[in-house]
């Protein structure tokens, strides 16, 4: 179960950020909402990916909140373990905010699939004192999600060859770049000509 939850989360992060980057770059040419905005698809993702991941996170949060010391490792290992714990908290908070802002209104019927993306773009492009605060929150969530996804994929594949581990890290960097592009593009418009 733990291995499935880890790999499902890591896969979801990469696919979701890639799909959102694609949508962000092609919104003008697509008059209809994509598959990722259909209520049945959102419900399926919540059940197949997020329910197992939530159970896994519950176990992880219990372990982290027990204030057990970080395992005795090298300085690098302790730093990565601390960063993983911190990113877990950011992922949990970001996911709760993102699901409350997108998935629940869609599933509850207060937003239609055609209205969801414009609403998200409006939220991301809104500024407070000249700063796009929601966009900054989303960028932090993208970074934490990408980092945590890489750590979970590596934990799920402990005996993977070094080349596979490097590929996982490269995919994590790619997912961060794609997710950041999607957020920035939605918040500010076209980035590249």
Phi, psi dihedral angles at 131 (to 5 degrees): -115, 135
21: its two tokens: 């980057």
Whole-number pLDDT of residue 127: 85
Percent of the chain, pLDDT > 70? 91
| pLDDT, tens digit (0-9, with 9 covering 90-100), for 120-150 | 888 888 888 888 899 999 999 999 999 999 9
Angle, nearest 10°, between helix axes 133-156 and 75-98?
130
Q: What is the pLDDT of residue 29?
A: 47
Three-state DSSP state, 1: coil
Closest CA relative to residue 23, chosen from 183, 184, 157, 182:
182
Helix (H) or strand (E) holding 65: helix 51-65
The whole-angstrom separation of Cα 131 and Cα 90 is 20
Q: Taking all residues of the chain, what is their mean pLDDT, rounded to a whole number?
A: 86
DSSP percent split of the chain into helix, strand, coil, nearest 5: 80, 0, 20
Provide the pLDDT confidence category of residue 190 given band limits of 50, 70 and 90: low
- Do 84 and 44 contact (CB within 8 A), yes or no? no
Token pair of 140 as six digits: 């932090």
Under DSSP, the state recorded for 162 is: H
pTM of the model: 0.86
**Above 80 in pLDDT, residue 37?**
no
Q: Which of 11, 46, 38, 36 is nearest to 152 (CA)?
A: 11
Please say if the pLDDT value at position 176 is more than 90: yes
47-89: per-residue pLDDT in tens?
A: 888 889 888 888 888 887 887 776 667 888 888 888 998 999 9
Nearby residues of 36 by Cβ (< 8 Å), 6 or more positions away: 16, 19, 20, 23, 42
Q: Say how far apart CA 179 and CA 176 lie, in whole Å.
A: 5
pLDDT at 137: 93
**Which residue ranges make up each domain of the chain?**
2-188
């Amino acid at each position: 179960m733990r291995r499935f939850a880890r790999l499902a989360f890591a896969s979801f992060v990469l696919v979701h950020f890639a799909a959102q980057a694609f949508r962000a770059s092609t919104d003008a040419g697509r008059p209809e909402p994509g598959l990722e905005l259909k209520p049945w698809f959102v419900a399926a993702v919540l059940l197949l990916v997020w329910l197992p991941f939530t159970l896994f996170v519950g176990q992880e949060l219990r372990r982290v909140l027990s204030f057990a010391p970080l395992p005795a490792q090298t300085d690098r290992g302790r730093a990565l373990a601390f960063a993983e714990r911190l990113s877990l908290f950011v992922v949990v908070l970001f996911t709760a905010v993102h699901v409350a802002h997108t998935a629940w209104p869609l599933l509850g019927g207060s937003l239609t699939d055609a209205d969801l993306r414009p609403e998200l773009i409006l939220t991301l492009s809104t500024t407070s004192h000249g700063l796009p605060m929601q966009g900054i929150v989303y960028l932090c969530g993208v970074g934490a999600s990408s980092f945590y996804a890489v750590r979970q994929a590596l934990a799920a594949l402990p005996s993977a060859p070094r080349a596979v581990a490097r590929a996982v890290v490269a995919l994590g960097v790619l997912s961060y770049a794609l997710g950041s592009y999607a957020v920035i593009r939605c918040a500010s418009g076209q980035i590249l000509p």
